[in-house]
Structure 1
């Protein structure tokens, strides 16, 4: 199965869209700081799923999904920092829920891959 058919990839792509929308309103002084960092963390999630899917088997896929999980945790922390700094002016709930959904899917996918090792 290609990465584009995976629910975890699709949901992480939706998360990227939400991240770009919410960070569009951040202060311009953060363009090369927190805005950039948050966007890179978000983009890293589906990118690592895609890269791992194109590699040589389940061992490498497992590793790349682990990296995606790390990026999700990094993103969560960065979003909470932005929220605490009052940079997030829209409702935080949708992005928080989407991130939780992605993290659950990543965990399930990693557990599935582990059974194939």
Structure 2
């Protein structure tokens, strides 16, 4: 891989989560296309996008700021998961799987952000 961020486990996991949630949201009702489906996809894509964008920055404070954006996007994804669960757009097993992946990623991202000087 040619870009440093591609080697970051948090970026790789964010990419994986993004692709998985893109697939699952395609099963949401058509009435949610411009609402929860779109919001979930934009939020989950924003995680990896902010990690990569921040890593290219010239300063560590800039990278730390973009990591904050990525963490906030992940929090938004978790809320979208809860909304999808409450509306029965996914099974309890699917919810638990994506919730646990998100929880693991959140912990990794916070730890990574805290290590940036």
Structures share a fold, TM > 0.5? yes
Which of 65, 72, 80 in structure 2 is aligned with 1:63?
65
Residue of structure 2 in register with 1:80 after alignment: 82
CA distance in 1, matches of 2:43, 2:94: 20
Displacement of 1:91 in angstroms is: 2.3
CA distance in 1, matches of 2:96, 2:81: 12
CA distance in 2, matches of 1:69, 1:53: 14
Summarize the alignment of residues 20-99 of structure 1 with structure 2, pairs less than 5 Å apart. Answer: 20-89=22-91, 91-99=94-102
Displacement of 1:71 in angstroms is: 0.5
Unmatched runs of 5 consecutive residues or more in structure 1: none
Residue of structure 2 in register with 1:5 after alignment: 7
Secondary structure of the residue that 1:31 maps to in structure 2?
A: helix
Unmatched runs of 5 consecutive residues or more in structure 2: none
Alignment RMSD, CA only?
A: 1.2
CA distance in 2, matches of 1:2, 1:31: 34
Q: Deviations over 1:8-27 (max 9, x none)?
A: 10111111012112111100
Native 8 Å contact 2:17 2:44 kept in 1: yes
Q: Deviations over 1:22-62 (max 9, x none)?
A: 11110011111110000000000000000000111101000
CA distance in 1, matches of 2:23, 2:111: 27
**Normalised TM-score (structure 2):** 0.92
Secondary structure of the residue that 1:81 maps to in structure 2?
A: helix
Native 8 Å contact 2:81 2:95 kept in 1: no
